[in-house]
Amino acid sequence: MLELKHIKKYYHVGDTVTKAQDDVSVAFREKEFVAILGPSGSGKTTMLNIIGGLDRYDSGDLLIKGKSTKGFKDADWDAYRNNSVGFIFQSYNLISHLGIIENVEMGMTLSGVPAATRRQKAEEALIRVGLNQHMHKKINQLSGGQMQRVAIARAIASDPEILLADEPTGALDSETSNEIMQLIKDLSKERLVIMVTHNPELAHQYADRIIEFADGKIQNDSHPHIEGAKADNFKLTRTKMSYWTALKLSWTNIRTKKGRTFLTVFASSIGIISIAIVLALSNGFQKQIDKTQSEAMSSMPITISQVGSDTSAMTGTTTKKFSKADTVTAEKSDADKAQHVNKITNKYINYVKDIPAKYTKNIAITYGTGMNLIRQVDGKYKTVSFSNSNPDSQTVDTASMMANATGVGGSVYPINSDGKQTFLKTYYKVIAGNYPKSATDIVLVVNKDNSININALKNLGISVKENEKLDFDKLVSTTVKVVANNDYYTKLPTGNFVPDNNYDGMATKANTKTLRVTGIIRVKSKNSDGLLASGVAYSSQLTKEVLNTNKDSEIVKAQKATPTKNIMTGQTMDASTANGLLTMLGGSSKPTTIQIYPTTFKDKDHVLNYLDKYNKGKNKNDKVIYTDLAGTVSDMTGGLMDAITYVLIAFAAISLITSMIMISIITYTSVIERTKEIGVLKALGARKRDITRVFNAETFILGFGAGLFGIAVAYLATFPINSVLANVTGLNGVAVLNPMHAIVLVLVSTVLTILGGHIPARMAAKKDAAIALRSE
Ligand code: ADP
Ligand code: MG
Instruction: Write out 594-634 in H/E/C secondary structure.
Output: EEEEECCHHHHHHHHHHHHHHHCCCCHHHCCCCEEHHHHCC
The partner residues of 4 in beta bridges, in order of sequence, read: 26, 62
d(CA 381, CA 236): 111
d(CA 19, CA 291): 82
What is the mean predicted confidence (pLDDT) over 182-193?
Answer: 95
Helix 688-729 to helix 739-766 angle (10° resolution) is 150
Worst-scoring range by mean pLDDT, 329-338, 699-708, 753-762?
329-338
| pLDDT band, residue 283 (cuts 50/70/90) | confident
Task: Answer yes or no: is the C-beta of 231 below 6 A from any ligand 1 atom.
Answer: no
Q: How many CA atoms within 13 Å lie on the side-chain side of 391?
A: 18
pLDDT value of residue 408: 65
d(CA 301, CA 528): 12
Q: Is residue 701 part of a domain?
A: yes
Residue where a domain stops, chosen among 539, 567, 597 = 539
Give the closest residue (by CA) to ligand 1 atom 12: 20
* C-alpha of residue 771 to centroid of ligand 1, in Å: 10
Ligand located closest to 768 CA = 1
Task: Answer yes or no: is the C-beta of 20 below 6 A from any ligand 1 atom.
Answer: yes
Do 109 and 180 belong together in one domain? yes
Do 190 and 88 belong together in one domain? yes
pLDDT value of residue 761: 86
* C-alpha of residue 769 to centroid of ligand 2, in Å: 14
* C-alpha of residue 85 to centroid of ligand 1, in Å: 21
Tell whether the model's pLDDT for residue 404 goes beyond 60.
no
* C-alpha of residue 49 to centroid of ligand 1, in Å: 11
Tell whether the model's pLDDT for residue 395 goes beyond 90.
no
* C-alpha of residue 239 to centroid of ligand 1, in Å: 29
Q: How many domains does the chain have?
A: 3
Task: Answer yes or no: is the C-beta of 535 below 6 A from any ligand 1 atom.
Answer: no
Q: Is residue 656 part of a domain?
A: yes
Closest C-alpha among 634, 609, 540 to residue 296: 634
Do 287 and 386 belong together in one domain? no
Kindly report the number of other CB atoms within 10 A of residue 469's CB atom: 7
Contact 687, 241 (CB under 8 A): yes
Q: Is residue 122 part of a domain?
A: yes
Task: Answer yes or no: is the C-beta of 90 below 6 A from any ligand 1 atom.
Answer: no
d(CA 769, CA 516): 94
* C-alpha of residue 165 to centroid of ligand 2, in Å: 10
Higher pLDDT, 190 or 603: 190
Do 416 and 519 belong together in one domain? yes
Closest C-alpha among 356, 301, 297, 293 to residue 593: 301
Do 206 and 95 belong together in one domain? yes
Q: Which atom of ligand 1 is nearest to the CA of 13?
A: 25
Task: Answer yes or no: is the C-beta of 356 below 6 A from any ligand 1 atom.
Answer: no
Do 261 and 235 belong together in one domain? no
Give the closest residue (by CA) to ligand 1 atom 21: 11
* C-alpha of residue 46 to centroid of ligand 1, in Å: 6
| pLDDT band, residue 38 (cuts 50/70/90) | very high
Do 485 and 451 belong together in one domain? yes
* C-alpha of residue 216 to centroid of ligand 1, in Å: 10
| pLDDT band, residue 530 (cuts 50/70/90) | low
What is the mean predicted confidence (pLDDT) over 492-502?
Answer: 87
Contact 457, 388 (CB under 8 A): no
Closest C-alpha among 254, 255, 261 to residue 706: 261
| pLDDT band, residue 72 (cuts 50/70/90) | very high
Ligand located closest to 55 CA = 1
- The pLDDT tens digits for 120-171 are 999 999 999 999 888 888 999 999 999 999 999 999 998 999 999 999 998 8
pLDDT value of residue 394: 46
Task: Answer yes or no: is the C-beta of 41 below 6 A from any ligand 1 atom.
Answer: yes
Ion ligand 2: residues, CB < 5 A:
45
Contact 593, 305 (CB under 8 A): yes
* C-alpha of residue 88 to centroid of ligand 2, in Å: 12
- The pLDDT tens digits for 82-114 are 999 999 999 999 998 889 999 999 999 888 888
Task: Answer yes or no: is the C-beta of 495 below 6 A from any ligand 1 atom.
Answer: no
Give the closest residue (by CA) to ligand 1 atom 10: 43
Q: Which atom of ligand 1 is nearest to the CA of 43?
A: 6
Residue where a domain stops, chosen among 511, 539, 567 = 539
Q: Is residue 609 part of a domain?
A: no
pLDDT value of residue 399: 36
Q: Which of 15, 16, 18 to mutate to test the pocket of ligand 1 (most atoms within 8 A of CB)?
A: 18
- 3-state SS assignment for residue 314: coil
* C-alpha of residue 150 to centroid of ligand 1, in Å: 27
Do 158 and 64 belong together in one domain? yes
- The pLDDT tens digits for 340-385 are 888 888 889 889 988 988 888 778 777 778 888 999 988 899 888 8
Ligand located closest to 14 CA = 1
Worst-scoring range by mean pLDDT, 332-346, 489-503, 612-626?
332-346
212: region left, alpha or beta (phi > 0 left; psi from -120 to 50 alpha): beta
* C-alpha of residue 140 to centroid of ligand 2, in Å: 25
Q: Which atom of ligand 1 is nearest to the CA of 768?
A: 23
Q: Which residues contact 420 (CB under 8 A, 6 or more apart)?
A: none
Give the closest residue (by CA) to ligand 1 atom 2: 45
Do 73 and 167 belong together in one domain? yes
* C-alpha of residue 30 to centroid of ligand 1, in Å: 28
Ligand located closest to 166 CA = 2
Q: Which residues contact 562 (CB under 8 A, 6 or more apart)?
A: none
Does an H or E element contain 7, and which?
Answer: strand 2-13
CATH number of 225's domain: 3.40.50.300
Tell whether the model's pLDDT for residue 479 goes beyond 90.
yes
pLDDT value of residue 73: 92
pLDDT value of residue 357: 83
Task: Answer yes or no: is the C-beta of 330 below 6 A from any ligand 1 atom.
Answer: no
C-alpha distances out from residue 13 to 18, 40, 561, Å: 8, 18, 120
Q: How many CA atoms within 13 Å lie on the side-chain side of 396?
A: 5
Q: What is the DSSP letter of 572?
A: B
Task: Answer yes or no: is the C-beta of 18 below 6 A from any ligand 1 atom.
Answer: yes
Q: Is residue 601 part of a domain?
A: no
Q: Is residue 612 part of a domain?
A: no
Residue where a domain stops, chosen among 539, 562, 584 = 539
Give the closest residue (by CA) to ligand 1 atom 25: 11
Q: Is residue 329 part of a domain?
A: no
What mean pLDDT is reported for the chain? Answer: 86
Do 674 and 761 belong together in one domain? yes
Closest C-alpha among 226, 222, 224 to residue 200: 222
pLDDT value of residue 297: 65
Q: Is residue 354 part of a domain?
A: no
Ligand located closest to 767 CA = 1
| pLDDT band, residue 402 (cuts 50/70/90) | very low
Do 265 and 397 belong together in one domain? no
Domain membership of residue 388 as a residue range: 370-539
Do 168 and 260 belong together in one domain? no
